[in-house]
């Protein structure tokens, strides 16, 4: 008679010492001595009073050690010799161009995921386009330039009131929790003299860049 799994009662009834039977369907039972965890080195390591084993601490130590590993930079004959040495030791060598190196650096900086260090022209083009968008986003999300709301206005009192209303609108959005990026992207709406209340009815505080840009195209 065979059982696929032992019940909790079966396991509880088993003796702590002695052998246990490991049964795999279609094969003869395998009898092995049970592991006494309290006698293992690992448990002693976990339960020691002084400097107990801490997996988080150990992982942090490994990360520090990895960060201290030196990166190899070599050129000319030195590079050729090092490549040959690595190849003889079984390491995989990938030859990449200067253009690919620059694209890889931009991809890492802008958070783009790469599946390979070897890139096609189309991949390099896409990485560079995404990097330009990343730079634009970073610039727009750093500050709020209220002087842009003076665009197209003269020195008349009416123009000053319009500029003040635009500035107040932008600052109201900022106070309401909108980011610098969102407010800068909402520039066409503010320049159309939309109030903060009107804008907040259209866009929530979690509106994405794409959502704002798509509707902004309608306003020119």
Q: Domain extents for the chain?
A: 1-54, 76-140, 146-219
DSSP H helices, 23-156, are 41-47, 55-68, 76-88, 98-109, 121-140
| Confidence label for 12 from pLDDT (cuts 50, 70 and 90) | low
Asked whether residue 71 carries a pLDDT value surpassing 60, the answer given is: no
Asked whether residue 6 carries a pLDDT value surpassing 70, the answer given is: no
Give CA–CA dist 68/177, Å, rounded. 41
Asked whether residue 72 carries a pLDDT value surpassing 60, the answer given is: no
Instruction: Work out the widest C-alpha separation in the chain, in whole angstroms.
Output: 99
């Amino acid at each position: 008679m065979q059982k696929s799994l032992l019940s909790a009662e079966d396991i509880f009834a088993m003796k702590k010492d002695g052998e246990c039977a490991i049964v795999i369907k279609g094969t003869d039972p395998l009898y092995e001595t049970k592991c006494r965890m309290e006698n293992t080195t690992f448990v002693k390591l976990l339960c020691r009073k002084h400097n107990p084993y801490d997996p988080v601490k150990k992982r942090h130590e490994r990360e520090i050690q990895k960060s201290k590993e030196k990166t190899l930079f070599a050129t000319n004959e030195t590079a050729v010799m090092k490549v040959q040495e690595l190849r003889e030791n079984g390491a995989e060598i990938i030859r990449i161009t200067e253009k690919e190196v620059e694209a890889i650096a931009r991809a890492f900086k802008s958070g783009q995921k790469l599946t390979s260090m070897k890139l096609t022209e189309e991949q390099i083009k896409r990485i560079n386009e995404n990097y330009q968008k990343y730079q634009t986003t970073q610039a727009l999300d750093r500050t709020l330039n209220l002087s842009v709301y003076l665009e197209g206005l003269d020195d008349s009192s009416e123009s000053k009131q319009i500029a003040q209303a635009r500035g107040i609108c932008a600052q109201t959005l900022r106070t309401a929790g909108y980011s610098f990026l969102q407010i800068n992207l909402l520039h066409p709406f503010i320049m159309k003299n939309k109030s903060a209340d009107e804008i907040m009815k259209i866009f929530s505080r979690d509106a994405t860049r794409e959502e704002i840009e798509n509707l902004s195209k309608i306003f020119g």
